[in-house]
A and B are shown apart, each in its own frame.
Chain A
Amino acid sequence: AQKITQTQPGMFVQEKEAVTLDCTYDTSDPSYGLFWYKQPSSGEMIFLIYQGSYDQQNATEGRYSLNFQKARKSANLVISASQLGDSAMYFCAMREASGSARQLTFGSGTQLTVLP
């Protein structure tokens, strides 16, 4: 079974608007961490934001915020005031405390295009 599911292969958003990228996860481990990474067309992987399973508040980093709904097992990324430079592939990932070596497992990604 997939541990991380990103159901939106592609998304479009108008410049300056907000956009939500969906991510659901599957784990029975009470302790885990959720991550979002950005991969622009140049190819590098850029860390954006982290949410811990025990964190009471949603994580925020500048224009990025994570809408963490633990009961629904969702960790959606919200990008406010989109900019052209936000056009990229976005990956949701999870690390569980248990399991072999606590590897970081990635979803299939969402390609975001910001329109001028």
Chain B
Amino acid sequence: DTAVSQTPKYLVTQMGNDKSIKCEQNLGHDTMYWYKQDSKKFLKIMFSYNNKELIINETVPNRFSPKSPDKAHLNLHINSLELGDSAVYFCASSQVLAATNEKLFFGSGTQLSVL
């Protein structure tokens, strides 16, 4: 059983379209995250949710909107896609938000290509 699963694995779309990436974790974790990995492999946090509440919202354009229907799911919706949105998007989860020793469990990533 996959611990953190995200779909789709690949997403190719035209500029201006709206798309969603889904993420689910079956670990019973309280906290979920979205990270963006750019073409230089740099990983940067976008959002963090703890028990369905938004905790972190880094300087991400309003076109990106996370939705957490329950604590096992954190979906990412992107409006009006731009070329610069092309990247790998990782969903992750951790048991609790607060502890410094909490490791993140990552999904396998979604390669988004905007044409």
A interface, CB within 8 angstroms of B: 31-33, 35, 37, 39, 43-45, 47, 50, 52-53, 89, 91, 95-97, 100-106, 108-109
Please report the C-alpha to C-alpha distance between residue A97 and residue B96 in the assembled complex, in whole angstroms. Answer: 13
What are 22 A-B pairs at a CB distance below 8 A?
A31-B100, A33-B101, A35-B103, A37-B106, A43-B88, A44-B109, A45-B90, A50-B103, A52-B101, A53-B100, A89-B41, A95-B100, A96-B100, A100-B56, A101-B48, A101-B50, A102-B99, A103-B45, A103-B48, A106-B44, A108-B42, A109-B41
Please report the C-alpha to C-alpha distance between residue A54 and residue B83 in the assembled complex, in whole angstroms. Answer: 44
Please tell me if the beta carbons of A44 and B106 are within 8 angstroms of each other in the complex. Answer: yes
- The answer to whether the Cβ of B97 comes within 8 Å of any Cβ in the partner chain is yes
A13 to chain B, nearest CB (A): 19
Select which of A43, A47, A105, A108 is within 8 A of B105 by beta carbon.
A47
Select which of B55, B90, B109 is within 8 A of A101 by beta carbon.
B55
- Residues on the A chain within 8 Å of B55, using CB: 101
B60 to chain A, nearest CB (A): 13
A46 (CB) vs chain B CBs: closest residue: B106
Taking CB atoms and an 8 Å cut-off, the chain B residues in 92-113 that contact chain A are 92, 97-106, 108-109, 111
Known: A43-B88, A91-B43, A106-B43. A101 touches B104 (CB 8 A): no
- Residues on the B chain within 8 Å of A102, using CB: 97-100
